[in-house]
Amino acid sequence: MKNILLIIILCYASLLNGQEVISHLVSNPILKTKKLLVRKNKSAITLPFFDDFSYNSSIVDVELWEQSSIFVNRTYPINPVTVGVATFDGLDEHGFARDYSQANPSEPSDTLLSQEIDLSAVDTAYLMFYFQGKGIGDAPQMQDKLVLEFKNDTLGWEQVWSSNGQTMQEFEKVITLIYEPIFLHNAFQFRFRNYATLSGNFDHWHIDYVKLDEFLNPNDTIKLNDVSFVYSAPSFLKRYEQMPWTHFKNNEAIEMNDTAAIFLRNNRASINIDYQYNIFENDIQIAHYPTAGPSRNVSVFDYDSIGNFEFTNPPIIVNSSVFTSLFPDSVSFMIQHILGTGLDDNKLNDTLLYVQDFNSSFAYDDGVAESAYGINTSGAKIAYQFKLNRPDTLRAIQMYFPQMLDSVSHISFHLTVWDNNGGQPGNIIHQQLVYPEHTELGNFHYYYLDSLFQMIGIFYVGWEQTTSDLLNIGLDKNKLANDYMFYNVGSGWNNSAYPGAWMIRPIVSLEEVILSAINEIENSFIVYPNPVNQIVNIISSTTDNLISIYNLQGMLVKQLFESKNNCKINIAELPIGMYVIEIKNDKDRSFQKFIIE
């Protein structure tokens, strides 16, 4: 039923938006390699029980939860109570659809089951949590529901709360008092379950701030006493999520944001908040905000009064000189945002980390797709605008095509590069016939250009379709790049009407293919085992090395700085084939070939 309704909605949407179609995903590749471990300590845990899902993991804390098939994330909710939520959908614990041939419109799907909790010493306890239907995901239908169940002293499950499907802009608080003797035992457990369409990433519910504790007075459930970040940390770049270092260097003023968009939520805590950010390169701090003093003090009033708090008067200043590095090619910086809050405030949600990458690719997206984008018109074109700050060579284009119900890997399209014509795609300067590649684990596929050429200024990459089939490129709904996203179904170029960022990344490099430099194997370092399939070991005669791995097309695929003369590098995500390791320092530069099998 849900699939039929979805098709009708999408067809109607395509008529309204000139054949643009947004499709829900049918899998979650982030969960494919994740597994909830078994808790070693088998004894019941004690009060208080608390989880706000603010940790940097897509799976839950095993010390709190015995069973889980949910997705911990920061991308699907709207205005969460604290950064990070647990999302319920129609996928299993590995991120796959549970049942493509589902007969009933709504069936049990995800479960989030607590560890055993000892309630035998309390007279009354309370369970509090917040929930939201849809967020930026898929709205649960009326027949769908989210339920809460308690385990009684005969080990049976009893439903104590439920909510039918609905679209919610705000999180709603639920408080359940636990005073019946059948629940106040030493092996109490609770679980959340959802009922959903099981054929894909449908019917989203999000829960946040789950707390179970002894009930002493009503203030226990009224005042959370917590200030938190709301969303993931932003890129410090004005236009891109990431860009090549060679195009950023000497253009910092035009590429950097002047300010950082950081949002806080005060959940009835003290309004006196300290804030700072720090920037690190290779674990060495290179910048700090504010420039005067350890932190900046602000008054953040309660969410019920002002909503989310944003630093606007004055804003958080980002100096264009905060990113500096001696390395000429690629570099990464760790940005750490820290809140200073009251002593009783939960500290787990008071730190955000963000890695600002400068490598060989331009990217508007954050690497995670929430939907898929396509056009159902033969001959349709999509074109993504990018801007070079210096002449450069376009070597490859990365694209992410999420696996949908029907594979389109047999349907060819013309990978296309255009020049600029007054802010829109102009003449075609390159085109080659390729096929969509559905990669494992959500990785991008590399389309290497069959001819290399230099470009300047603004250019566009995308495709021209050979059929009316939906190619379904990944759409990141948390980043907005619509000013640079163009489509054409035969009546001229238009900006995409769907907010988001296509997961398409051009790769540029001024360096020539490096294989010409290594006709003979150098002996200044040792690589073993060779061939390798997961971990490659490197022993060098020097320290403080920049280690780079290139494929045979000369494309940089991995890079790190190593202060010691030996290291282990995980290359499990790289495709099978031959590669080149380069070790560079202030005295030498040497290469060796190795094979991944």
By 3-state DSSP, what share of the chain in percent is helix, strand and coil, each rounded to 5? 5, 45, 50
Q: Report whether the peptide linkage leading into residue 529 is cis, meaning its omega lies within 30 degrees of zero.
A: yes
pLDDT tens per residue across span 303-343 = 999 999 999 999 999 999 999 887 767 889 999 999 999 88
Read off the tokens for 13: 């949407």
Per the CB < 8 A criterion, the answer to whether 460 and 383 are in contact is: yes
371-508 has CATH 2.60.120 classification:
yes
407 falls in which pLDDT band (50, 70, 90)?
confident
2 three-state secondary structure: helix
φ and ψ of 462, to 5 deg: 175, -140
| Banded pLDDT at 554 (limits 50, 70, 90) | low
**pLDDT for residue 12 is more than 80:** no
CB 273, CB 299: distance < 8 Å: yes
Selection from 204, 267, 257, 258 nearest residue 230 by Cα: 267
Beta bridge partners of 528: 537
Res 418: pLDDT: 98
Q: Is the pLDDT of residue 3 over 70?
A: no
pLDDT above 60 (res 232): yes
The answer to whether 230 touches 308, Cβ cutoff 8 Å, is yes
Above 80 in pLDDT, residue 85? yes
Q: In this structure, what token pair is assigned to residue 304?
A: 């019920």
- The pLDDT score that the predictor gives to residue 1 is 40
- Is domain 21-222 in CATH 2.60.120.260, yes or no? yes
Q: What is the pLDDT of residue 4?
A: 39
* pLDDT bracket for residue 22 (50, 70, 90): very high
Region of residue 14 (left: phi > 0; alpha: psi -120 to 50; beta: else): alpha
- Taking the C-alpha atoms of residue 502 and residue 7, their distance in angstroms, rounded to an integer, is 22
Reference 235, options 212, 267, 260; nearest CA is: 260
Average pLDDT, integer, range 15-37: 82
16 has pLDDT over 50: no
* Lowest-pLDDT choice from 152-156, 198-202, 440-444: 440-444
Residue % of the chain over a pLDDT of 90? 70
Average pLDDT over residues 34-59: 91
For the chain, report the end-to-end CA distance as a whole number of angstroms.
45
CATH architecture of 514-596: Sandwich (2.60)
pLDDT of residue 517: 42
pLDDT band at 389 (very low <50, low <70, confident <90, very high): very high
- Are residues 128 and 221 in contact, defined by beta-carbon separation less than 8 angstroms? yes
Determine how β-strand 392-399 pairs with β-strand 243-244. Answer: unpaired
Average pLDDT over residues 372-378: 96
Condensed to tens digits (0 to 9), the pLDDT of residues 355-371 reads: 999 988 999 999 999 99
pLDDT at 492 over 60: yes
Q: Write down the pLDDT at residue 516.
A: 43
Quick one: pLDDT at residue 219?
84
Q: Which two tokens stand for residue 572?
A: 């499990």
User: What does the pLDDT read at residue 512?
Assistant: 45
Instruction: State the average pLDDT over residues 570-595.
Output: 83
13: part of which helix (H) or strand (E)? helix 2-16
Instruction: Give the DSSP per-residue string, 74-97.
Output: SSS-SS-SSS-EEEE-SB-TTSBB
Q: What is the DSSP letter of 27?
A: B
pLDDT for 372: 95
Lowest model confidence (mean pLDDT) among 176-180, 318-322, 427-431, 518-522: 518-522
The whole-chain average pLDDT of the chain stands at 90
Binned at pLDDT 50, 70 and 90, residue 479 comes out as very high
Highest averaged pLDDT of the listed ranges 314-328, 343-357, 482-496, 576-590: 482-496
CA angle 283, 284, 288 (to 5 degrees): 115
User: How far is C-alpha 470 from the chain's CA centre?
Assistant: 24
What is the per-residue pLDDT across 419-454, written as a single tens digit (0 to 9) for each?
A: 999 999 999 999 999 999 887 778 899 898 888 888
Residue 438's pLDDT is what? 85
31-45, 209-223, 307-321, range with the lowest pLDDT: 31-45
The token pair at 369 is 């797709």
